[in-house]
Amino acid sequence: MLSGKRLLLIIGGGIAAYKVLELIRRLRDRGVDVRCVLTKAGAEFVTPLSVAALSENKVYQDLFSLTDESEMGHIRLSREADLVLVAPATANLIAKMAAGIADDLATTALLATDKPVLIAPAMNTHMWQHAATQANVATLIARGITVIGPAAGDLACGEVGSGRLVEVPGLLAALEEAFHQHQPLPSLVGKHAIVTSGPTHEPIDPVRYIANRSSGKQGHAIAAALAAAGMRVTLVSGPTQEPVPAGMDFKPIESAQQMLAAVDAALPADVFVGAAAVADWRVASAADQKLKKGADGPPALVLTENPDILRTVSQHPKRPALVIGFAAETEKVLEHAAAKRVRKGCDWILANDVSPETGTFGGTHSRLFLVTAAGVTPWPHSAKTDAARRLTHAVAEYFSTMRDA
């Protein structure tokens, strides 16, 4: 998977920099072209000669080196890589990245890159836990930067806690994951996907409704990724603030009944992805006029079940070849997701923990588990756009396997 990939490795200052030498060696063994930027602080812990010998490439240090700028300017350096990794990422480097400071070669390259960036923090545990560092990390995550670790354990300063650089096998696994996520999307030209997204709004009266906290970010990201892979996409979405991705047939709806009708009208399809958070219940008889407060207290709302869209599609005469559902759970996530897959009759379930503390609802990141008849595959905590790309690769692999069978 890694052979032929290009990595720009930015080595920060810290005792953990010694681990990076082993990382370079292991990456070279796998055929990765590693170019290194060694910060001034990093050079206090590892030498340019050792980095150059292991990487088999020139080591870049000085932003204002005329020779380097003529042969390999910081723009080229930042753009010719497939990925950028900062390891160890010190509190100082993280703060500069968050603030957009570009006062040396490393930070200038980071500001100039258009490639995915990963950071592997390493620092004293109190520095890691400091509110400023945590705010800076949150800023970077919101911008799409992937954070690897830190790990917990004995620190070089003699204290114990979170702040250790992730060990080399963990760094390698994270890089393999990142390279996989950002490889070009496969071609799914000629196939049709129906994707549901967002919440549904179930009316109580003309001004009130029952809903949930779904933002539509994940469903819209999936629709966009499938369309980018060449699929004809029908996006059926409840009310969201998300922009409609370009190049697809958009069907805006309000209620679960409307969503089911729109999905049914869009069939047949090759793939169905039920990413919408469909309300389980609706008011049996919504009021024609706004309900008023009265002396008898609040009105009694009689609820009835909404149609089960995922199960309906799974049992439909025009059933897609691949039916994918979502299980948003707050407890026993995998247990409930596995049971839901069997109960609904779908092929795959993507399970995620939507407990309030996870920030999944309305957030930009999530941790998903792919549940199939073969078992459970954990996906890394990542941006919802990355999860959408991963799902697109999985869909392409599914159809490729079917074609070769």
Catalytic residues: 157
- How many Å apart are CA 104 and CA 62, to the nearest integer? 7
What is the token pair recorded at 147?
A: 């954070």
What DSSP character marks residue 354?
Answer: -
**Residue 309 annotated as binding?**
yes
| Cβ burial 49-73 (10 Å sphere, 16+ → b, else e) | eebeebbebebbbebeeeebeeeee
**Residue 250 annotated as binding?**
no
**Residue 307 annotated as binding?**
yes
Q: Are 325 and 272 in contact (CB under 8 A)?
A: no
**Residue 63 annotated as binding?**
no
- Whose structure tokens read 């080595």? 11
SS (H, E, C) 196-261: EECECCEEEECCEEECCCCCCHHHHHHHHHHHHCCCEEEEEECCCCCCCCCCCEEEECCCHHHHHH
**Residue 326 annotated as binding?**
yes
- How many Å apart are CA 142 and CA 97, to the nearest integer? 13
In Å, what is the CA distance from 24 to each residue of 51, 52, 120, 129? 8, 10, 14, 29
**Residue 308 annotated as binding?**
yes
- Which residues, in sequence order, are bridge partners of residue 351? 327, 369
Q: How many CB atoms lie within 10 A of CB 205?
A: 15
**Regarding beta strands 83-89 and 6-11, do their DSSP bridges make them parallel or antiparallel, or are they unpaired?**
parallel
**Residue 210 annotated as binding?**
no
Pairs from 51-57 (Cβ < 8 Å, separation ≥ 24):
51/11, 51/20, 51/21, 51/24, 54/21, 54/24, 54/25, 54/28, 55/9, 55/24, 55/28, 56/28, 57/33
What DSSP character marks residue 381?
Answer: S
Q: Which residues are annotated as a binding site for CTP?
A: 280, 290, 307-310, 326, 340, 344
Q: Which residues are annotated as a binding site?
A: 280, 290, 307-310, 326, 340, 344
